[in-house]
């Protein structure tokens, strides 16, 4: 990090209730420190910190940068206060904050960015004004410096734009005036000030506007917001409005609900707000005048329409409509009361004729057509277009509002309008609002905006979005492209998009980035390492939507999601669940995307469930090819569940866990067809990951080994896997020996304690099956090599690991369960067996025989282990045996005799029903000897009728030669059996002897 200073010269302009204050002489101010990172990762959030002088309560400024290279996401006051939502400009973004509080001698503000282009990006920070707690302006001189942030590994310089002008007041500040003239300063005045701040920046008229200029200095900025906040807290710091500004309503007007009928298409204000009569200066009722009156009256008011001509009747806005902020009761603005209008009755698209056309003044005017900050309101039957934003619902007081039956982003003929910003915004605490309902008449049609619906900020919870036609024209058969259909940022929770009922699904057409996104679930003041749930995107549901199709559910390449993104960052998907998004449900959606179907990513995106979605196929059964994965899981996400999805026609494969830090991902009952790629791929090596000894390799889902088939008949499929886990068996489409694809889920089986499993089935000879296994921690394997029913399963290759135990546990009364394999079975009192210090151990008294075995059911076998004895015999002998093909009292033994002094002798034995037959003479082991507590390595191989045994010091390399060999073809011992270690002590006076075993492995011989 580096730090540099910008010199400040503060010019104080006092604002005191009831009097104007002249400017005082400019004096040097303290330094403004700005901290920037040296280098940041592409597509990851980072912050620039502004350290303002102590006592600063409001700040107004701009950040200038190449908008193709980065984006300003948010403003976060560190010590407290309110950051205004950044406003995009052609050359960057405007920012502001008020109600700031100082700590540690300064006021600290963080600007949160995300960079999308690699290079050396210049960022120019311009602070235009600050204010103290009372709202007195402090104009900043010289606060214009450029910092450079390295993005990714890029070296190309990306310069920042130059400052072309500075917004300076045109007059000295005067008396703070009400912005919502009702005889008092309250929250509604602050709402107007905040709205005016944003509107002035959207329109580019910061110092050429009157609406919102609370201190009358000719500029609309954060100073006005702070002055309004200060005035609200002091009853003596405002002047009551004159009689021509405000007329006290009658008692009847305050109490009774009222219907206002708009008869004039002009856009003039109410002449006497609060008198219960909608009338401009000419005595006609306009929409603007009706909203002004409805804001005053109590009860649920209505605004109906009787405009000249038939629907849609045009109202050309002269500027933003008044905030809808009724102090008690809501207002229903119903365009369908206009003559010639009709509600939708079509099941595909919408045949509605909205009653009223609200036409804005274009992108650069930065208008919001309807801005709601109160509860219980309805906007219905409106055709809104040529307005920067259509409908904004803002503030925790904005709840139980309904946005239904509207067209947004189209001309009166249904043609596409010029692209605008957000169509519907649910913002900063707006909760329990409805955008569309299952009723056909309530279907909204929204397109040609950057985001059709945007949910933003903490507290923006429990909103419902249903039955909308998004990012396509009203017919549902032509595109009206958006960047994102429905987006969530910085805190929304418990939202429902779609549903399982009739007409609850949303139909989302062409998008540049993705159809639905959950992202940026962290406090901008902390950064994306924040774990405070306040800003997380949690417990939301996207259910049953059609994403990337026409309105009738048919496939068209031009309707896919992710049209303009390469699918390498956090975009290019049908649905994206991204950083800070947890416990969300994505269920039953149809997905068509240019790249990937559904993506879950980031270390702070966990426990998300993606189930029963149909990806790569239309609701009508048409192929909807993807160039990427059906499900792409990456970048450290954990504990997600991918279950019951049907994935077709995804070029790279069905489910890709494409980075090594993706863990505990449960993959269950998914069907994959129509791809040359794998059904499931875990990041490890390209292609299927082979089973490895001890399953010690690392990667996605710890590259869990696949289950092993031991039998595949028409009635039962059997095999081995991790004890306590689950094996799922599928019918497969590829030949035996290949992998996948899973076309039908046949059932699941729990793996027994001995590592075996079986599943009853009803199949025909020649059917191809495959399987995966799921551990108790939800790590899931790839698919095992396919086998044909009625034929012997492909045997594991020589050297394939069957069992391993590193004894990294602590147990008593037995050895418990092997690291990979089943439980140990013991001969002798269980109290004599324990695991501690990384070894299994048992204690032997003179004349005792004890042992430990694993139920493996394997014939060709290679067994290795590392053994020690804690003392050498003074007399007599200590015998150790590696055991193969054990079945009751029948087995092969590789015998090691430890004599007094540590001499070693090897021999091979056959045991049949308890009768011992030696297979050749005892052989002295040359080159090594035993010592108390010093480990020896043993290897015993039984492959067909060939038996071989060797011993060497654990500290030395394994020798190539064998100490003892034999050939034995006894029929009973050619069958599969168990493996383990046994011991016997004879004539040892200095016992007991403790025997330990470590690094025990059994492989296919």
Give the DSSP letter string of 809-847: S-EESS--B-SBS-BEEEES-GGGEEEETTEEEEEE-TT
Q: How far is CA 295 from CA 311, 331, 377, 422, 710, in A?
A: 26, 8, 11, 25, 76
Per-residue pLDDT averaged across 984-996, rounded?
A: 93
Cβ atoms of 529 and 522 within 8 Å: the answer is yes
**The pLDDT value given to residue 883:** 95
- pLDDT for the residue 272: 86
For residue 994, the model assigns a pLDDT of 95
Q: Give the closest residue to 508 by CA, choosing from 556, 565, 551, 477.
A: 551
Q: For the whole model, what pTM was predicted?
A: 0.67
Q: Could you give the 3-state DSSP secondary structure of residue 592?
A: coil
Q: Which of 81-90, 311-320, 698-707, 843-852 has the lowest mean pLDDT?
A: 81-90
**Shared fold status for 1-246 and 707-788:** yes
Sheet strands (E) in 699-796: 708-712, 716-720, 726-732, 742-750, 756-760, 768-774, 787-788
Q: In whole angstroms, what is the distance from residue 648 CA to residue 673 CA?
A: 5
Phi first, then psi, for residue 533 (nearest 5°) are: -65, -15
Helix (H, G, I), strand (E, B) or coil at 546: strand
Give the domain 707-788 fold.
Immunoglobulin-like (2.60.40)
pLDDT at residue 4 tops 50: no
Beta-sheet pairing, 768-774 with 993-1004:
unpaired
> pLDDT tens for residues 795-843?
556 778 888 899 999 999 999 988 887 889 999 999 999 999 999 999 9
User: What mean pLDDT comes out for the span 148-177?
Assistant: 87
Question: pLDDT tens digits for 887-921?
Answer: 889 999 999 999 999 999 999 999 999 999 999 99
Residue 559 is given by DSSP the state G
Q: Report the share of the chain in percent with pLDDT over 90.
A: 67
pLDDT beyond 80 at 726: yes
> How does DSSP classify residue 703?
G
Sequence spans of domains, the chain: 1-246, 707-788, 801-1004
Q: Return phi, psi of residue 714, to 5°.
A: -70, -15
165-189 confidence digits (pLDDT tens): 778 888 888 888 888 777 778 877 8
Average pLDDT, the chain: 88
Class of the 1-246 domain? mainly beta
Contact between 641 and 606 under an 8 Å Cβ cutoff? The reply is no
Exposure string for 881-907, b = 16+ CB within 10 A, e = fewer:
bbbbbbeeebbbbbbbbbbeeeebbbb
pLDDT in tens, 746-795: 999 999 988 999 999 999 999 999 999 999 999 999 999 999 998 655 55
Lowest mean per-residue pLDDT among 91-105, 233-247, 416-430, 973-987: 233-247
pLDDT tens per residue, range 305-351: 999 999 999 999 999 999 999 867 899 999 999 999 999 999 999 99
Report the distance separating Cα 623 and Cα 555, nearest Å: 8
Range with lowest mean pLDDT among 119-133, 535-549, 567-581: 567-581
Q: Are 472 and 511 in contact (CB under 8 A)?
A: no
Helix spans in 251-345 (H): 251-255, 287-296
> How far is 188 from 323, CA to CA, in rounded Å?
9
Pair of tokens at residue 116: 């999308």
Report whether pLDDT(243) > 80.
no
Phi, psi of 412 (to 5 degrees): -65, -20
Q: How far apart are CA 549 and CA 701, in angstroms?
A: 33
Provide the 8-state DSSP code for 293.
H
Q: So what's the pLDDT on residue 255? A: 39
Q: Which of 8-22, 27-41, 245-259, 454-468 has the highest mean pLDDT?
A: 454-468
Q: Which residues of 799-810 are buried (b: 16+ CB within 10 A; e: fewer)?
A: ebbbbbbbbeee
Task: Decide if pLDDT at 235 tops 50.
Answer: no
Question: Cα separation of 810 and 813, whole Å?
Answer: 11
Bridge partners for 541 per DSSP: 496, 585
Q: Which residues contact 122 (CB under 8 A, 6 or more apart)?
A: 65, 146, 147, 148, 157, 158, 159, 160
CATH class of 801-1004: mainly beta
What was the pLDDT predicted at 792? 54
**pLDDT average, residue stretch 536-547:** 97
Q: What is the mean pLDDT of residues 852-862?
A: 84
Confidence class for position 691, pLDDT limits 50, 70, 90: confident
Instruction: Please check the confidence at residue 423 and state whether its pLDDT lies above 90.
Output: yes
DSSP string, 127-152: EEEEE-TT--EEE-SS-EEEEEEEET
Rounded to 5°, angle at Cα 272 from 268 and 275: 125
Cα 555 from Cα 127, distance rounded (Å): 50
Tell me how far apart the alpha carbons of residues 768 and 203 are, in angstroms, rounded to a whole number: 65
33: enclosing H helix or E strand: strand 27-36
Regarding predicted confidence, which is higher, 514 or 242?
514
Q: Which of 14-28, 211-225, 956-970 has the lowest mean pLDDT?
A: 14-28
Distances (CA, A) of 442 to 383, 393, 431, 647: 13, 18, 19, 32
Say how far apart CA 928 and CA 930 lie, in whole Å: 7
Confidence of residue 201 (pLDDT cuts 50, 70, 90): confident
pLDDT per residue over 600-622, tens digit each?
999 999 999 999 999 999 999 99
Strand 877-887 and strand 977-986: the pairing is antiparallel
Q: How far, in Å, CA of 712 to CA of 769, rounded? A: 8
pLDDT band for position 35 (cuts 50, 70, 90): confident
**Top-confidence range, 27-41, 140-154, 467-481, 530-544:** 467-481
């Amino acid at each position: 990090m580096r730090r540099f200073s910008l010199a400040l010269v503060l010019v104080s302009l006092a604002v005191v209730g009831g009097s104007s204050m002249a400017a005082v002489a400019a004096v040097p101010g303290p330094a403004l420190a700005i901290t920037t990172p040296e280098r940041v990762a592409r597509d990851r959030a980072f912050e620039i910190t502004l350290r303002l002088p102590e006592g600063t309560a409001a700040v107004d400024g701009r950040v200038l940068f190449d908008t193709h290279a980065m984006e300003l996401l948010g403003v976060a006051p560190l010590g407290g206060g309110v950051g205004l939502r950044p406003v995009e400009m052609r050359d960057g973004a405007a920012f502001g904050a008020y109600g700031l509080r100082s700590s540690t001698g300064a006021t600290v503000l963080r600007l949160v960015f995300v960079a999308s282009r690699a290079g050396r990006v210049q960022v120019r920070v311009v602070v235009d004004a600050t204010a103290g707690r009372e709202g007195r302006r402090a104009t900043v001189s010289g606060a214009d410096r450029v910092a450079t942030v390295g993005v990714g590994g890029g070296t190309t310089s990306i310069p920042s734009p130059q400052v072309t002008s500075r917004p300076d007041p045109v007059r000295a500040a005067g008396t703070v005036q009400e912005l919502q003239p009702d005889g008092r300063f309250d929250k509604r005045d602050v709402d107007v000030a905040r709205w005016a701040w944003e509107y002035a920046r959207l329109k580019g008229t910061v110092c050429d506007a009157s609406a919102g200029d609370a201190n009358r200095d000719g500029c609309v900025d954060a100073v006005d917001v702070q002055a309004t906040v200060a005035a609200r807290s002091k009853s003596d710091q405002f002047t009551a409005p004159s009689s021509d500004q405000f007329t006290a309503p009658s008692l009847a007007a305050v109490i009774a609900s009222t219907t206002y009928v708009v008869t004039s298409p002009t856009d003039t204000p109410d002449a006497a707000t609060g008198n219960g009569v909608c009338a401009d200066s000419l005595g006609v009722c306009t929409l603007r005048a009706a909203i002004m009156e409805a804001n005053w009256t109590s009860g649920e008011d209505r605004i109906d329409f009787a405009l000249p001509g038939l629907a849609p009747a045009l109202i050309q806005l002269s500027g933003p409509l008044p905030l809808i902020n009724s102090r008690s009761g809501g207002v229903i603005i119903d365009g369908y009361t206009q003559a010639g209008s009709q509600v939708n009755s079509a099941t595909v698209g919408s045949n509605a004729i909205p009653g009223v056309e609200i036409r804005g003044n274009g992108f650069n005017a930065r208008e919001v057509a309807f801005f709601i900050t109160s509860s219980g309101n309805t906007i219905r039957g409106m055709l809104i277009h040529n307005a920067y934003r259509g409908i904004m619902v803002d503030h925790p007081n904005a709840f139980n509002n309904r946005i239904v039956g509207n067209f947004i982003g189209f001309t009166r003929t249904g043609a596409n309008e010029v692209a605008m910003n957000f169509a519907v915004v649910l913002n900063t605490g707006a909760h329990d609002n409805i955008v569309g309902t299952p009723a056909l008449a309530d279907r909204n049609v929204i397109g040609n905006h950057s985001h059709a619906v945007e949910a933003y900020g903490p507290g923006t919870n429990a909103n419902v979005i249903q039955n909308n036609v998004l990012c396509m024209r009203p017919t549902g058969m032509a595109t009206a492209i958006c960047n994102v259909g429905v987006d969530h940022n910085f805190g929304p929770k418990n939202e429902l998009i779609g549903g399982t009922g009739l007409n609850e699904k949303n139909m989302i057409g062409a998008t540049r980035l993705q159809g639905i996104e959950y992202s940026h679930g962290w406090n901008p003041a902390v950064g994306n390492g924040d774990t405070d749930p306040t800003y997380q995107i949690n417990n939301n549901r996207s259910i049953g939507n059609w994403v990337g199709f026409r309105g009738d559910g048919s496939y068209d390449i031009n309707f896919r999601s992710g049209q303009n993104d390469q699918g390498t960052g956090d975009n290019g998907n049908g649905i994206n669940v991204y950083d800070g998004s947890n416990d969300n449900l994505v269920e039953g959606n149809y997905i068509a995307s240019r790249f990937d179907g559904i993506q879950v990513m980031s270390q702070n995106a966990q426990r998300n469930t993606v189930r029963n979605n149909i990806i790569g196929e239309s609701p009508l059964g048409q192929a909807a090819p993807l160039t990427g994965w059906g499900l792409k899981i990456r970048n450290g996400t954990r504990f997600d569940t991918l279950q019951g999805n049907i994935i077709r026609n995804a070029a790279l494969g069905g489910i890709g866990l494409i980075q090594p830090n993706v863990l505990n991902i449960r993959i269950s009952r998914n069907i994959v067809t129509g791809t040359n790629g794998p059904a499931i791929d875990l990041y490890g090596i390209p292609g299927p990951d082979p089973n490895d000894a001890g399953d010690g390799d690392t990667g996605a889902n710890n590259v869990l080994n696949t289950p092993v088939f031991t039998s595949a008949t028409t009635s039962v499929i059997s095999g081995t896997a991790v004890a306590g886990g689950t094996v799922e068996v599928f019918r497969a489409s590829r030949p035996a020996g290949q992998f996948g694809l899973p076309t039908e889920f046949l059932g699941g089986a729990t793996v027994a304690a001995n590592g075996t499993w079986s599943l009853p089935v009803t199949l025909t000879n020649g059917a191809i099956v495959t399987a995966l296994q799921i551990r108790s921690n939800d790590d899931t394997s790839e698919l095992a090599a396919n086998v044909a029913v009625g034929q012997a399963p492909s045997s594991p290759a020589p050297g394939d690991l069957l069992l391993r135990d590193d004894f990294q546990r602590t147990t008593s009364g037995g050895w418990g369960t092997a690291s990979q394999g089943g439980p140990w079975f013991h001969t002798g009192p269980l109290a004599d067996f324990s695991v501690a210090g990384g070894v299994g151990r048992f204690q032997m008294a003179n004349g005792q025989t004890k042992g430990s075995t694993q139920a493996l059911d394997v014939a060709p076998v290679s067994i290795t282990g590392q053994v020690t004895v804690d003392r050498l015999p003074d007399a007599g002998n200590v015998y150790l045996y590696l055991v193969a093909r054990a079945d009751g009292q029948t087995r092969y033994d590789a015998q090691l005799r430890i004599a007094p002094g540590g001499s070693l002798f090897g021999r091979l034995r056959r045991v049949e029903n308890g009768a011992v037959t030696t297979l050749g003479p005892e052989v002295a082991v040359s080159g090594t000897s035993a010592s108390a507590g010093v480990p020896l390595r043993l290897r015993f191989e039984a492959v067909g009728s060939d038996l071989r045994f060797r011993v060497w010091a654990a500290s030395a390399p394994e020798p190539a030669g064998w100490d003892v060999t034999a050939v034995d073809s006894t029929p009973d011992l050619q069958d599969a059996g168990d493996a383990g270690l046994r011991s016997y002590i004879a004539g040892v006076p200095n016992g007991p002897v403790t025997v330990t075993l470590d690094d025990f492995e059994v492989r296919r011989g």
